[in-house]
């Protein structure tokens, strides 16, 4: 939840060796058996540039701005710190409204072999199956836009380093990182679908139901047994399933939602910190302030001053 922006990806080694042969979507490809990392650079304004991959692809912005047009999805600005998963054989139509020679637009596209994706999803479906889902874990079946969290940002940066490094073991290193990246991306997608307060899955998915239950009862103590009972699961199974599905524990999620509510109250009311702390389910003001600083990066008082300057 911290608002501090992630550091830009380091593509220095790529820039030192790449050849510029085109001014629009100049492509440099780094390939292993299971994946291909493409780094694109555009140096002048362009519109309706089409790009298609035969494998599922993760596209991530490095520098500049694109406007993305994807089938069945409203057009959106694509900026550094953001990624999009695009299914195989789906055409991206791209505008470059700000690209210049001295300020090029740079983007990466990681195309992953279907066999590699299947290996990861089969392992997850076997060891940590999704609750109340006939399809199970899937990757690259639909467009999915996300803001990179810190783990995903670090994994993408690590892949850039591995692919551009001259190391005989790069295949081994890259496959390990890709496996973790695919899992984290699927967990991110699960959070977006099932933990969304407006989700329509609460009536058909137990974890989505529990998430809505948590949000309705943030002001009071919530215990794992109570949540497990709502999910009709044992406590150990509920805890393990929640963590495997979303990449966070139930307690992490509860605290995240409480801090989100506290941020909202700090922005929209003049209530004192003690009242906000209690409203958000914290019975200890010191703990609330400590957790808020850890999650947001600044104290509640500093946050309010930034949002509502005198």
Q: Is 40 within 8 Å of 22 (Cβ atoms)?
A: no
Q: Is 292 within 8 Å of 300 (Cβ atoms)?
A: yes
What is the CATH code for 198-310? 1.10.10.60
**Which parts of the chain register pLDDT below 50?**
3-4
pLDDT score at 308: 73
| pTM of the predicted structure, to 2 decimals | 0.91
pLDDT tens for residues 206-265? 999 999 999 999 999 999 999 999 999 999 999 999 999 999 999 999 999 999 999 999
DSSP 88-102: TTPEEEEEESS--SS
Q: Is 184 helix (H, G, I), strand (E, B) or coil?
A: helix
Lookup result for tokens 């963590």: 243
Q: What are phi and psi of 150, to 5 degrees?
A: -60, -45
- For the chain, domain boundaries: 12-194, 198-310
E strand or H helix that includes residue 296? helix 285-296
Distance CA 211, CA 297 (A): 25
What is the CATH code for 12-194? 2.60.120.280
β-bridge mates for residue 40, sequence order: 27, 107
pLDDT score at 74: 95
pLDDT tens for residues 181-207? 999 999 999 999 999 877 788 889 999
Q: How many CB atoms lie within 10 A of CB 54?
A: 10
């Amino acid at each position: 939840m911290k608002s501090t922006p992630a550091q830009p990806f380091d593509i220095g080694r790529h820039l030192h060796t790449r050849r510029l042969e085109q001014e629009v979507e100049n492509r440099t490809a780094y390939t292993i058996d299971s994946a291909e990392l493409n780094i694109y650079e555009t140096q002048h304004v362009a519109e309706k540039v089409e790009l298609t991959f035969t494998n599922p692809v993760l596209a991530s912005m490095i520098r500049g701005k694109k406007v993305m047009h994807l089938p069945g999805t409203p057009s959106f600005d694509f900026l550094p710190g953001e990624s999009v998963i695009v299914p195989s054989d789906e055409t991206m139509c791209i505008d470059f409204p700000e690209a210049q020679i001295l300020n090029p637009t740079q983007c990466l596209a990681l195309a992953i072999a279907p066999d590699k994706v299947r290996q990861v999803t089969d392992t997850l479906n076997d060891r940590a199956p999704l609750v109340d889902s006939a399809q199970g874990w899937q990757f690259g079946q639909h467009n999915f836009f996300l803001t990179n969290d810190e783990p995903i940002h670090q994994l993408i940066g690590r892949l850039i380093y591995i692919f551009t490094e001259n190391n005989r073991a790069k295949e081994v290193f890259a496959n390990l990182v890709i496996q973790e990246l695919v899992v984290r991306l699927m967990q991110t997608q699960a959070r977006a679908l099932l933990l969304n307060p407006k989700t329509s899955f609460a009536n058909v998915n137990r974890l989505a139901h529990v998430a809505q239950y948590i949000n309705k009862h943030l002001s009071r103590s919530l215990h794992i047994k109570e949540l497990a009972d709502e999910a009709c699961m044992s406590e150990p199974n509920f805890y393990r399933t929640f963590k495997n599905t979303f990449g966070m524990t139930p307690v992490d999620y509860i605290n995240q939602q409480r801090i989100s509510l506290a941020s909202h109250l700090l922005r929209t009311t003049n209530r004192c910190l003690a009242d906000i702390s209690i409203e958000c389910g914290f019975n200890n003001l010191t703990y609330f302030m400590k957790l808020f600083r850890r999650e947001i990066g600044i104290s509640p008082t500093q946050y309010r001053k930034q949002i509502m300057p005198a």
